[in-house]
């Protein structure tokens, strides 16, 4: 059986990743391609439990290294119990965030460093990378407006961090995409969802 493809959507808050993941899944299904849509942190019962620990706003939050460890633990369970089994049965996996989010958020904006994030990923998930990573990039103004509409003024712990933090996230994502051009496709996300979807399809269909 031919192994499925692994497609990850990345980007900052309000980029439209979840919307585009659903639209891509629908387009693939129309073409007779079986797919699974999932998210990080989450995707399995254990990883969803860790998601609540990471993103809930109660308490004082986590030290950056503890935060990175929790993301790596959630991802490890997600990879072992959902992503790899689906790929092995020939399904395409479409994931709303994967390890590049940890590299941008904890490694870049959080100051942990890329090497440490990738070391955790090697231990937890055997270094698995997406076949294609779609980085949806939006202006700070678009991101803020979409995040407000989505969250209704109740952002999660990470989404609620200040603008300087999210600017560092965007810069880290851009640096990753520049350094790993064969794996990344950069998508202008400021347009309406239908136009962004067409750009996503243009990047995915050659696969």
Percent of the chain with pLDDT over 70: 99
186-196 tens-digit pLDDT: 999 999 999 99
Inside any domain, residue 40: yes
Inside any domain, residue 191: yes
Inside any domain, residue 1: no
What pLDDT, on the 0 to 100 scale, is given for residue 147?
Answer: 73
138-148 tens-digit pLDDT: 998 887 787 77
Main-chain phi, psi angles of 118, to 5 degrees: -70, -30
For residue 177, the Cα-to-chain-centroid distance in whole angstroms is 13
Closest CA to 36 of 59, 5, 68: 5
**Residue 195 belongs to domain spanning:** 6-204
Give yes or no for residue 163 having a pLDDT over 90: no
Give me the number of domains the chain comprises.
1
| pTM, 2 dp | 0.93
State the pLDDT confidence band at 151, using cuts at 50, 70 and 90.
low
| CATH code (residue 189) | 3.40.50.300
Bond into 135 cis (ω within 30): no
48-91 tens-digit pLDDT: 999 999 998 877 889 889 999 999 999 999 999 999 999 999 99
131 secondary structure, DSSP code: S
Non-local (6+) Cβ contacts of 170 within 8 A are 12, 137, 140
The residues pairing with 135 across neighbouring beta strands, listed in sequence order, are: 10, 186
């Amino acid at each position: 059986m031919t192994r499925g493809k692994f497609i990850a959507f990345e980007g900052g808050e309000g980029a439209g990743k979840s919307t585009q993941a659903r639209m891509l899944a629908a387009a693939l299904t129309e073409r007779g391609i079986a797919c699974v849509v999932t998210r990080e942190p989450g995707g399995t019962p254990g990883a969803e439990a860790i998601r609540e620990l990471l993103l809930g706003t109660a308490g004082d939050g986590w030290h950056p290294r503890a935060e990175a460890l929790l993301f790596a633990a959630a991802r490890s369970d997600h990879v072992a119990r959902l992503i790899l089994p689906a790929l092995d049965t020939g399904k395409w996996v479409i994931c709303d965030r994967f390890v590049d989010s940890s590299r941008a958020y904890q490694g870049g904006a959080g100051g942990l460093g890329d090497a440490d994030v990738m070391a955790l990923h090697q231990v937890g998930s055997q270094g698995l990378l997406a076949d294609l990573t779609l980085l949806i990039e939006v202006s700070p103004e678009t991101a803020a407006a979409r995040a407000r509409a989505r969250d209704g003024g109740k952002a999660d712990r990470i989404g609620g961090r200040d603008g300087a933090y999210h600017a560092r996230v965007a810069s880290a994502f851009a640096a990753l995409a520049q350094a790993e051009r064969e794996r990344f496709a950069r998508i202008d996300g400021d347009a309406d969802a239908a136009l962004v979807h067409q750009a996503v399809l243009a990047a995915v269909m050659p696969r």
